Structure 1
Amino acid sequence: MSNLKQNRQGAATTPVKSARVIPQWWQSIFYRFFTLPNMTGLLLFAMACIAWNRGLALLYGMVATLLAFILLSVILPWIYLRRLHVAFEQPIPVHAGQMQTIHVQINTQKHKTAYGIQLTPILVSTTAFNHTTKPTQRLNYVAGQARVVFNFTPAQRGSFNLQQVTVACAYPFGLITLQKNMLAVPCPQMVYPRLFNIKHLPPSWLHGAVSLGEQVHRNPQGYDLFVGLRQYRTGDNYRHIDWRATARSGDIALREFEQLEQPRISLVINADSTLNIGQGEINALEHSLSLAASIAKYCVMQGISVNATGAINCQINSIEHLDDFYMLLAQLPTQTQHHYAEYLSHTLGHHNHSGVVISFISQHFLEVTPLTDQHHSQKHWQFVFNDDSYLNPLKTFKRAAITHHHHTVSIPIYANHNIADTINNSN
């Protein structure tokens, strides 16, 4: 009785194979060889054999008709593809993570009509974009001119060239699809670094000094030097508008003052290979450039002057300067020289009581390389990128505390933590 019970249990646990299950290798062979062009060729061969063996005129006519269909399936797409010319329109620069729109202009020779055209732009780097599938648009017909719009989201900064488009056509019968890579005039595509939403710079990092924003938004005092009038720009303080000059000229004029010691942020950009840790979007170098761009935007909106040194040297005092700074960051390559410590020491040597020096460095490089004299009197914010978190982005790391040492504030940055929250949630 016990043996019978064991046999029943064994039979219940043994999986039963269904007779309707088709093996995967047979499915792959079927879908690989039994396609529409192959089946059409096989049918043509069978009809030709029957007609030759039997001598039937009807089969000869069917074979001739089928041959005509195949011939038209090759000739017509070839003619339509020869008529086309493509050109890219200059895309508007966007930041990584924002949707970018690319317009492709299609022209036909002598305003003739082409049918069933399918276009796919050839992206320079597939890893630089979020969508793995290539954007494709299909046009039923093109007569003279047409414009095709492609939308995709770049994931990384960079400067690329849009130059090729893959054009395919299978009109009218769909038996044979012809493809052709068409060259166009190279069109530069600029992708700025990703921006983080920085709401404020923590006052506690200033070591008790006056907040940077308070010095900018106060009314002009007697020790401010009036330097002249300039045109109003978005983000300027409306209290500095000269209404009399505005009424005379018709354009909004702004009184510009120069303080004896203006608040200034010095960004020491690091492009050394020691910071190039991680892959794709999760990269310490890319995060440092995004952080520099975000801080620069916040400071410009608050009226704080920004100076970029290190791998990039420029002054950022307006929205126009900010766009130029974004462009320099987008085109910045990874350098193999290790001169970042020298750049940082030189910047810390120029003391500014109202300013802050911001640096970006990896944890390993900080441990093996003595950066600067720790007794400098310049306020220094040091963003330290954790190497292990960028090499193992799926691993969970506990957030370390922000440390203060003399005039230096060390802010640890991890790949799996929100960088914007690290700044916004600091008191």
Structure 2
Amino acid sequence: MSQGSLEAQLRPLTTWLARYMNAHRFLWLMSLACFLMAWNRGIALLYGSLALMLALIAVSWLLPWWAMRGVRIQRRQWGEASAGGELVLQYQCQPRQPLLFVTVTESLLGQPQQHFLPRLEAGTIQLSYPSPPRGVYQLPAPQLSCGWPFGFVQRPTTLASPMCEVRVQPKVHSIRQLPQPCADNPLMVGADSQMSRGAHSEFAGVRPHRDGDSMKHVHWGASARQQQLVVREFHSFDQPSWLIVIDGNAEHCLGQGSDTTFEYALQIGASMLEFARRQQLSATLVVAGDRTTTLSVEPGSANINDALWALAGVQADGQQDYSDAIRQAVAQRQEPPIVVTIRTDRQTLDMPSCGGHLDLVYAADSFDLPMANYAQGWRQLSSDHWLLHLHQLSKLHQVLSV
């Protein structure tokens, strides 16, 4: 008999043993075997072995319970968490004495996530977990298991810990450059251009060099004095503002789970806010849900953390027509903005007068037949109108940039 066929025959047995057999159950089986043989044969040594195994089992059950008496743990989210990334929880632990062989179990979307700690002492620890999809979650009380002293038994207990709220933000994709849909400015807004040719601007100061800044904007004198690269920063008076309007109508949302048009739109909107911040542009994101959410980024903003924090809690629960939402958002602007819309090819828009239009259109059929062939990429329809074809499997970090 070959080794391969023997392994194939033994695989069901090994699978069953791995699933149902552990050290604790093995000790109980050995105790039962020793008792039956000692009772049948009258061998005192087997009675001694039985007593030893029963004592081992009792100690494995009682000592973890004794060690975990009065353990208190408080949790909170540490830093920001993005969909598809890591969620970090900070624990403030207060055990009566150091615990050994500890397992911390958190329930994320009903799925247990575990961390094994060889030693748990009083103090603060941080544990990371895979981030759930974007949203706001209330974590139930964690479960703490202790295997001290032998590790045969993991004695679990649910701690009396308050609920912990965590917020998972939408994923932000890096955008190198976007089209500039203006009749009098055919240039692209990109990492190497602070503004269009001939724009009116004034010197605003210097700031540390960031990835993507052009070397032609480096202030060499200030860099020498500060011993680091710094760049000149300008404020433009005629640079148009950007307005991203997201359709929060529940009836227009296609897809399931985290792969929906609404979730993709939030990722695109957040990415464009970050692009505007890096390019020192003014941008506003409007989510037309049951309650309209308006988030803005102005030139000089250090980050978009507050906007991402707010986007974690928005939902596609609105009923407003998308075209009406766009008209209302444009009417609130003093100057005609460049409008960014995100829709499916089953929706038609009645656009108001604006300073330009970037129209991002998802193929609706791609959410039913994702493997079919669909158009993808930017297309210029006119000097002030650009169209981006997208589908469910589009890699946003690749297709958003021109």
Give the TM-score normalised by the residue count of structure 2: 0.77
- CA gap of 1:66–1:234, structure 2 versus 1, over 3 A, is same
For 1:63, the equivalent position in structure 2 comes to 50
Output aligned runs, 1:3-402, within 5 Å.
Answer: 18=5, 21-22=8-9, 25-109=12-96, 112-124=97-109, 134-139=113-118, 141-143=119-121, 145-154=122-131, 156-203=133-180, 205-209=181-185, 213-214=194-195, 220=201, 259=237, 263-311=240-288, 312-317=293-298, 318-319=300-301, 322-348=304-330, 355-366=337-348, 371-372=349-350, 376=353, 378-399=355-376, 402=379
Structure 2 residue 387 is the aligned partner of structure 1 residue 404: no
Q: Distance in 2 between matches of 1:86 and 1:351?
A: 49
Q: How far apart are residue 123 of structure 1 and its match?
A: 2.1
Report the more deviating stretch, 410-419 or 29-38: 29-38
- CA gap of 1:258–1:208, structure 2 versus 1, over 3 A, is closer
SS for the counterpart of 1:382 is strand
SS for the counterpart of 2:100 is strand
Q: Distance in 1 between matches of 2:198 and 2:384?
A: 25
Q: Distance in 1 between matches of 2:21 and 2:354?
A: 77
Amino acid at match of 1:142: L
Confirm or deny: 8 A CA contact 2:201 2:234 kept in the other structure. no
Q: How far apart are residue 378 of structure 1 and its match?
A: 4.1
- CA gap of 1:23–1:116, structure 2 versus 1, over 3 A, is closer
Q: Distance in 2 between matches of 1:31 and 1:98?
A: 32
Q: Distance in 1 between matches of 2:94 and 2:303?
A: 38
Amino acid at match of 1:96: A
Deviations 1:231-281 (CA, angstroms, capped at 9, x unpaired) = 989989xx9x9xxxxxxxxxxxx999794x662111112222244323444
Q: Distance in 1 between matches of 2:197 and 2:86?
A: 34
Q: Distance in 2 between matches of 1:410 and 1:352?
A: 25
Q: Distance in 2 between matches of 1:234 and 1:181?
A: 49
Amino acid at match of 2:243: S
Gaps of 5+ in 2: 220-231
- CA gap of 1:30–1:309, structure 2 versus 1, over 3 A, is closer
Q: Distance in 2 between matches of 1:30 and 1:256?
A: 69
Gaps of 5+ in 1: 1-14, 127-132, 242-253
Amino acid at match of 2:113: K
Q: How far apart are residue 146 of structure 1 and its match?
A: 4.2
Q: How far apart are residue 119 of structure 1 and its match?
A: 1.7
Report the more deviating stretch, 24-33 or 408-417: 24-33
Q: How far apart are residue 350 of structure 1 and its match?
A: 6.5
- CA gap of 1:266–1:177, structure 2 versus 1, over 3 A, is same
Q: Distance in 1 between matches of 2:236 and 2:6?
A: 87
Confirm or deny: 8 A CA contact 2:199 2:236 kept in the other structure. no
Confirm or deny: 8 A CA contact 2:375 2:390 kept in the other structure. no
Q: How far apart are residue 117 of structure 1 and its match?
A: 1.3
Give the TM-score normalised by the residue count of structure 1: 0.73
Q: Distance in 1 between matches of 2:5 and 2:186?
A: 78
Confirm or deny: 8 A CA contact 2:250 2:319 kept in the other structure. yes
Deviations 1:19-67 (CA, angstroms, capped at 9, x unpaired) = 6742655444444555433332232223223433444443333322222
SS for the counterpart of 2:137 is strand
Amino acid at match of 1:214: M
SS for the counterpart of 1:195 is coil
Deviations 1:99-142 (CA, angstroms, capped at 9, x unpaired) = 44333232212xx232221223322465xxxxxx8342222x33
Confirm or deny: 8 A CA contact 2:143 2:157 kept in the other structure. yes
- CA gap of 1:231–1:315, structure 2 versus 1, over 3 A, is farther
Amino acid at match of 1:360: I
Structure 2 residue 402 is the aligned partner of structure 1 residue 421: no
- CA gap of 1:284–1:373, structure 2 versus 1, over 3 A, is closer
- CA gap of 1:155–1:398, structure 2 versus 1, over 3 A, is farther
Decide which structure has greater helix share: 1
Q: How far apart are residue 340 of structure 1 and its match?
A: 1.9
Q: Distance in 2 between matches of 1:197 and 1:207?
A: 26
Q: Which has the larger radius of gyration?
A: 1
Q: Distance in 2 between matches of 1:71 and 1:365?
A: 68
SS for the counterpart of 2:79 is coil
- CA gap of 1:156–1:51, structure 2 versus 1, over 3 A, is closer
Q: Distance in 1 between matches of 2:36 and 2:265?
A: 71
Confirm or deny: 8 A CA contact 1:316 1:322 kept in the other structure. yes
Q: Distance in 1 between matches of 2:84 and 2:128?
A: 12
